[in-house]
């Protein structure tokens, strides 16, 4: 993992854990981990493209967290 990938991974997981709904939260964490595992061996330009895509996904995730806080749902049985 490159020096920019690890902080991005931490940021994505941190944001995913702020999602209110249990199902969406667990899906987001699984998706982040799976995406990083899939792209683990990328180098050069491919890695740079994957990092940019991850940064865009982080912004989307931040917006989803804000929307979830504006319109909270009831607590799940799993929580």
Could you read off the pLDDT of 1-35 as tens digits, one per residue? 668 889 999 999 999 999 988 889 999 999 999 99
Can you give the pTM of this predicted structure?
Answer: 0.83
Strands of 1-79, DSSP E: none
Determine what percent of the chain falls in helix, strand and coil, rounding each to the nearest 5.
Answer: 70, 0, 30
Could you read off the pLDDT of 57-71 as tens digits, one per residue? 999 999 999 998 887
Q: What are the structure tokens assigned to 50, written together?
A: 């994957």
**Rounded distance between C-alpha atoms, residue 47 and residue 51, angstroms:** 6
The whole-number pLDDT of residue 75 equals 72
**Rounded distance between C-alpha atoms, residue 55 and residue 8, angstroms:** 7
């Amino acid at each position: 993992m490159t020096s920019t990938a690890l902080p991005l991974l931490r940021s994505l997981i941190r944001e995913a854990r702020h999602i209110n709904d249990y199902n969406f939260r667990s899906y987001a964490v699984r998706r982040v981990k799976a995406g990083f595992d899939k792209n683990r061996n990328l180098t050069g330009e491919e890695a740079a493209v994957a990092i940019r895509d991850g940064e865009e996904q982080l912004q989307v995730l931040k917006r989803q967290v804000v929307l979830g806080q504006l319109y909270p749902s009831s607590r799940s049985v799993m929580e």
